[in-house]
Amino acid sequence: MCGIFGYCGGKKASEILIEGLKRLEYRGYDSSGICVGNGSKFSVYKRVGKIKVLADTLPEKPFGHNGIAHTRWATHGGVTEANAHPHTDCNEKIAIVHNGIIENYQQLKDKLLVKGHKFKSETDSEVIAHLIEEVFNGDLTKAVKQVLPMLKGTYGLIAMHVDCPDVLVGARNGSPLILGIGNNEMFLASDVNAMVAYTKQVVYLNDKEIVTVTPDGFTTSDVQDNAIHKDITMVETDGESFDKQGYNHFMMKEIAEQTEAIKRGMVGRLNVDEATGHLGGLNMDNAQLLDVERIVLVAAGTSYYAGMTASYLIENLVRIPARVELASELRYKNIIVEKNTLYFVISQSGETADTLFALRELQRKGAHVLGICNAVGSTIARETDGGVYIHSGPEIAVASTKAFTSQLTALYIFTLLMARIRHLSFEQGKEFINAFNELPALIEEILSADDKIEQIADKYYKSQSFMFLGRGINYPVAMEGALKLKEISYIHAEGFGAGELKHGPIALINEQTPSFFLVPDDALRDKNISNMKEVKARGGKIIAVCTNGDDEVKEIADDVIEVPKIMPCFYPFLLVVPLQLFAYHCAVKLGRDVDQPRNLAKSVTVE
């Protein structure tokens, strides 16, 4: 979950490293540091806090032309300058930055202590620098290759040595590392976003691969010293996504971008003439899709709720069983892979550790696994058997918003394709597409009512706890709404199926605990209204999200947010937007760091 960055070339390394870190800060922001080669010694600077703290305290004197940098999400050891990266060896000739977890670090550390090594931190990462010190004999690449088999766990790491000027050595295993190729300069980073301002040419490293870079070239190999040929990929990302463009926070910008993100996700994928969907990246023809008898969707966090929403739609329209699994649980199950089952792994970053390891376990057992992700060239995108890019654009805020609706877009198109192969008629498919095409304009309508949502937030933001309740396909949306509120405002919130109210959650109802009800005009509307009355009878405050003009809901609820009418299965797209906005405004009013909430990181690349 940490961000690592390395540079070697002819420019002032410190400036490039700081700029790279700023684009990686969403991966961790407990502390940060840089190490720059400066002749016969390293210059190392570390600070607790965000990148700005480090940048503001760096000396103005020139630095060297190669270096490494790190922004930390703490795992082993507290948030201190000593525990911040880069870490050095005893003689401060070797420096490393590391993303991942070394599971056997304590055993390695104990052996190094016996040999007289002095440690300066509590981290697992520091052992890597000392291990390299033990075996170094003039060749940094060779030393790294000797050390890697000793490490049990995951790593994306970059190493440098005072005696090897203009050389960086990178390696990955279970944690991303990407090479960027510039004009007489090279970059290494855990995310392509860190280097996109300097180059569009990248090389994606696979697990157990090692890269040695100098300003004018690179070589890739494995631990056994076998050369590996790597293809250069051109990336399309530009710098605009890293500008707030007038918004106070990236999160608000990304909420507003959902209309365009959904449009991008639909382009070329809705076949009006045949009233079906088209997803060429699946690498499966209609006959193969017809053989599919069940769907399993694997994900974590917001992606899990997107998958859960899709499972309702698949069972309703495709008429085959569909279930969603938490990646962190699935990877440790003795998974039963059934014939004619199609698996999807869903991840915004394409690097989510639990989801990636679940993917690999499924494939080991013979499963056919497709991916849904946002990051082109990510590990999940490269290792799945096919899949769909959601094309939502970079998401900088830690709390995911536009990725949720973009993932739904991809999953809804897949469902349309599957349903048309089976039971859905041409006219029904056409109606589905027409409703799909209405979504961007309807979401714009909801966004235009943001002032009212802010007023409701102003009324409730001091509450200590919230309940979010929905039914059917909108039950996962209730859980996603609760997740958004707790993520960025730190207010306790729980999402429930409204039918479960009487089975325990109703005990929590009081005047200080508002209930958020999702009550669109669908087949379960009357059931939801009955649940609302149960809460009202016990003195609970109710905020309802309902369809425009629903006077019955307005009579019961204390506050109402209205959304336009649409085909009922599309309400998740509309209902989630007010919940995102409500969470945002509560967080702002409480003075929270909306884009970088405490204890969280954007890309969960460690277990």
Catalytically annotated residues: 2, 602
12: exposed, middle or buried (Cβ count in 10 Å: 0-12, 13-18, 19+): middle
Cβ atoms of residues 75 and 124 within 8 Å: yes
Q: How far is it, in rounded angstroms, from Cα 603 to Cα 379?
A: 13
Q: Where are the extended beta strands (E) located within 471-582?
A: 492-497, 515-519, 542-547, 559-563
Q: Which two tokens stand for residue 233?
A: 């990929």
Q: How far is it, in rounded angstroms, from Cα 279 to Cα 597?
A: 36
Q: How far is it, in rounded angstroms, from Cα 141 to Cα 220?
A: 10
Number of H helices, E strands in the chain: 19, 26
Sheet containing strand 465-470, edge to edge, reads 492-497, 465-470, 515-519, 542-547, 559-563
Q: How far is it, in rounded angstroms, from Cα 46 to Cα 53?
A: 9
Spatial neighbors of 33 by CB under 8 A, at least 6 apart, are: 44, 45, 46, 47, 54, 69, 70, 84, 85, 86
CA separation (Å) from 419 to 22, 292, 424, 482? 44, 12, 5, 31
Q: Which two tokens stand for residue 522?
A: 């669908």
Q: How far is it, in rounded angstroms, from Cα 68 to Cα 334?
A: 40
Cβ atoms of residues 176 and 190 within 8 Å: yes
H or E, element range at 52: helix 51-57
What are the phi and psi torsion angles at 13 (to 5°)? Answer: -65, -40
DSSP reduced 3-state for 80: coil
Which residues are paired to 47 by β-bridges?
32
DSSP reduced 3-state for 369: strand
DSSP reduced 3-state for 146: helix
Crossing angle of helices 126-135 and 140-147, rounded to 10°: 120
Of 604, 403, 603, 586, the C-alpha closest to 490 is 586
Q: How far is it, in rounded angstroms, from Cα 354 to Cα 379?
A: 12
